[in-house]
């Protein structure tokens, strides 16, 4: 499990995370909601070790990662898969090399084995025969599926999704969230999703948290979240249904 205590992150004089406390349980689908610029991506990047916290503790399966040397951090990072915001892919690498990226970095598998795995994982997201194409030749929905395949290709215990559906039309959003649930059943990872897309959050999450002004102001089951009387939650849900948050946040 992931245990986060008193997590702080500043950029210069700007305090972004101001003491986050959160537990994420094994096997759950956990969603962090919050407005644009609130620090959701910064939160994820701290948890996976791409940013260094200014204070606090992050334990992954009991092991403290704050203050770890890069070598030891890399070892723990083999447990993580990440879908970056907007499904960002490396434009100059083929689809196959994008999916292979984590396998090359984190394993010593042979080229043949990697090629086989890449094809398997692309098939899992319903893509065939695209491994030698460049990302620019794919539709946005296909690119997002490649990003999904890349996130799961190392069979990580924890998968982090940063806005997996942002910028997609409603139909493609549904396709991606269905695929997400299918992969969840097949691979049974612990999934941490960051989004401001309430519909997707409601559809896939076991628990939902809301980040506001650098702290977690609500953590509850999806059902309880929908009925919450916490003024921050009520305001967020209202804003979302009026499209205020999603309009502002389009990629």
Ligand X SMILES: Nc1ncnc2c1ncn2[C@@H]1O[C@H](COP(=O)(O)OP(=O)(O)OP(=O)(O)O)[C@@H](O)[C@H]1O
- Judged by the rule CB under 6 A, the positions of this chain that interact with ligand X are 11, 16, 34, 36-42, 85, 196, 249
Give which of Mg ion, ligand X, none residue 82 binds (C-beta under 5 to 8 Å, depending on kind). Answer: none
Is the CB of 44 or the CB of 99 nearer to ligand X?
44
Q: What residue has token string 């990662």? A: 65
User: Which value, to the nearest 10 degrees, does the dihedral of the CA atoms of residues 64, 70, 76, 82 take?
Assistant: 110
Residue 135 near residue 98, CB atoms below 8 Å? yes
Is the CB of 22 or the CB of 106 nearer to Mg ion?
22
Reference 139, options 193, 175, 115; nearest CA is 175
Burial group, residue 138, by CB count within 10 angstroms (0-12, 13-18, 19+) = middle
Rounded distance, CA 19 to CA 34, Å?
Answer: 16
CB of 35 to ligand X, least distance (A): 7
Is the CB of 85 or the CB of 240 nearer to ligand X?
85
CB of 198 to ligand X, least distance (A): 13
Give which of ligand X, Mg ion, none residue 11 binds (C-beta under 5 to 8 Å, depending on kind). Answer: ligand X
Question: Binders of Mg ion: how many residues, by CB under 5 A?
Answer: 3
Interaction with Mg ion in 23-82: which residues (CB under 5 A)? 40-41
Distances (CA, A) of 63 to 4, 42, 57, 67, 115: 11, 21, 10, 11, 33
Is the CB of 122 or the CB of 192 nearer to Mg ion?
192
CB of 51 to ligand X, least distance (A): 7
Instruction: Kindly state the tokens that stand for 19.
Output: 């003491």
Give which of Mg ion, ligand X, none residue 34 binds (C-beta under 5 to 8 Å, depending on kind). Answer: ligand X
CB of 250 to Mg ion, least distance (A): 12
CB of 235 to Mg ion, least distance (A): 20
Residue 8 near residue 54, CB atoms below 8 Å? yes
CB of 8 to Mg ion, least distance (A): 18
Instruction: Kindly state the tokens that stand for 79.
Output: 């447990």
Give which of ligand X, Mg ion, none residue 29 binds (C-beta under 5 to 8 Å, depending on kind). Answer: none
Is the CB of 41 or the CB of 190 nearer to Mg ion?
41
Rounded distance, CA 39 to CA 212, Å?
Answer: 9
Is the CB of 182 or the CB of 213 nearer to Mg ion?
213
Residue 97 near residue 133, CB atoms below 8 Å? no
Provide the binding-site residues for Mg ion, judged by CB under 5 A. 40-41, 85
């Amino acid at each position: 499990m992931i245990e986060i205590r008193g997590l702080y992150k500043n950029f210069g004089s700007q305090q972004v995370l101001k003491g986050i406390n959160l537990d994420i349980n094994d096997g759950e689908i956990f969603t962090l909601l919050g407005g644009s610029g609130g620090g959701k991506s910064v939160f994820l990047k701290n948890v996976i070790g791409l940013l260094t916290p200014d204070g606090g503790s992050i334990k992954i399966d009991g092991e403290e990662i704050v203050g770890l040397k890069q070598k030891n951090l890399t070892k723990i990072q083999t447990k993580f898969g990440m879908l970056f915001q907007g499904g960002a892919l490396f434009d100059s690498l083929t689809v196959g090399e994008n999916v292979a990226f984590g396998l090359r970095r984190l394993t010593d598998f042979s080229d043949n084995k990697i090629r086989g795995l890449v094809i398997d994982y692309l098939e899992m997201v319903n893509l065939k025969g695209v491994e030698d194409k460049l990302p620019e030749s794919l539709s946005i929905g296909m690119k997002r599926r490649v990003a999904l395949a890349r996130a799961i290709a190392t069979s990580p215990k924890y998968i982090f999704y940063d806005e997996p559906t942002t910028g997609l039309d409603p139909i493609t959003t549904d396709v991606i969230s269905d695929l997400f649930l299918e992969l969840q059943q097949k691979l049974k990872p612990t999934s941490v999703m960051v989004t401001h897309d309430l519909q997707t959050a409601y559809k896939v999450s076991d628990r939902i948290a809301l980040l506001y002004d650098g702290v977690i102001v609500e953590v509850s089951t999806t059902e309880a979240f929908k009925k919450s009387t916490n003024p921050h939650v009520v305001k967020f849900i209202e804003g979302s249904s009026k499209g205020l948050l999603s309009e502002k946040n389009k990629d």
